[in-house]
Amino acid sequence: MLRMPFSVATWNINSVRLRMPIVERLLLEQAPDVLCLQETKVPDELFPEKAFRKLGYEHIAFHGQKGYHGVATVARRPIEVVEKRRFCEIDDSRHLSVTVRAGGKAILLHNFYVPAGGDEPDPEINRKFRHKLDFVAEMNAIRAEHDEVSGSILVGDLNIAPLEHDVWSHKQLLKVVSHTPVETERFEAMRLAGNWVDLMRLNVPHEQKLYTWWSYRAQDWEASDRGRRLDHVWSSPNLVPNFAGYEILRPARGWERPSDHVPVIARFDLE
């Protein structure tokens, strides 16, 4: 049976309108079948649809709001919106799921932007951190649905670096939001509860450093290399045999007016 290449990119773009030139560069150079964006920071009526359509991404779904948060999924093939889920009884735009057909499968594709959680890792005094923990708890309901003719993929800026070598210094970041034990333990428990496979670590040793984010605060991000893996690609177990690898586009952190996150592109060969 012929296999069909299928690629999904995920990128926290930190304002899609401001950074449209580098989004265009990504699409022209890498041409993923689907691009999932987070932190688009634009209400739906102002989303730059024309720019995407001009590049061949004519299938567009978004869940946005003015100035904050927001997710969008654009594709070169038809997509159908399944859900824009509300979390924690708060009307933030942090989730969008669509279906897309690839090979002989219907793929349910979740696009997430998990709350950052503020600076103080104490839910009793920091409501942002409490919100983050509550959000992750509600994500337990997002399951890796699959059968013989369908599968699930979950991508996005999940704002947690779960493993020791997903950060530049495990010891120094244990009390820093995104790598505290309460976050990493609940995050991994949620992933396992949903039967999700962490594709980025599938064939990469846990002792190998993996980063997708470098702070704007660093004077020379590349030299200091104090990164974190905050962006993730998961799938249902039945898609693992079709997983053909991924790329973290580290050079994009040095593009003009960059996001502090870089794109991750996952590739599949689907029957």
Structure confidence by residue, pLDDT tens digits, 30-46: 999 999 999 999 999 99
Q: Is residue 142 part of a domain?
A: no
Domain interval for residue 20 = 6-113+147-167+195-268
Q: Is the pLDDT of residue 203 over 70?
A: yes
Is 12 annotated in a binding site? The answer is: yes
Catalytic residue status for 261: yes
CA torsion sign for 49, 53, 58, 59 is negative
pTM for this model (two decimals): 0.97
Query: Which among 271, 213, 219 has a CA at the least distance from the CA of 244?
Result: 271
Catalytic residue status for 147: no
Q: Is residue 202 part of a domain?
A: yes
- CATH code where residue 55 lies: 3.60.10.10
| Alpha-carbon span 183 to 53, nearest angstrom | 38
Q: Is residue 133 part of a domain?
A: no
Catalytic residue among 57, 69, 113, 246: 113
Catalytic residue among 33, 157, 166, 231: 157
pLDDT of residue 197: 98
Burial of 50 (0-12, 13-18, 19+ CB in 10 A): exposed
Is 242 annotated in a binding site? The answer is: no
Dig out the tokens for 170 from the structure.
Answer: 């495990």
Q: Rounded to the nearest 10 degrees, what angle do helices 181-193 and 127-138 cross at? A: 20
What is the total count of domains within the chain?
1
Q: Is residue 1 part of a domain?
A: no
* Percent with pLDDT over 70 in the chain: 99
Catalytic residue status for 57: no
Mean pLDDT of 106-128: 97
Amino acid 204 reads V
| Alpha-carbon span 241 to 31, nearest angstrom | 23
Q: Is residue 45 part of a domain?
A: yes
Is 131 annotated in a binding site? The answer is: no
pLDDT of residue 1: 56
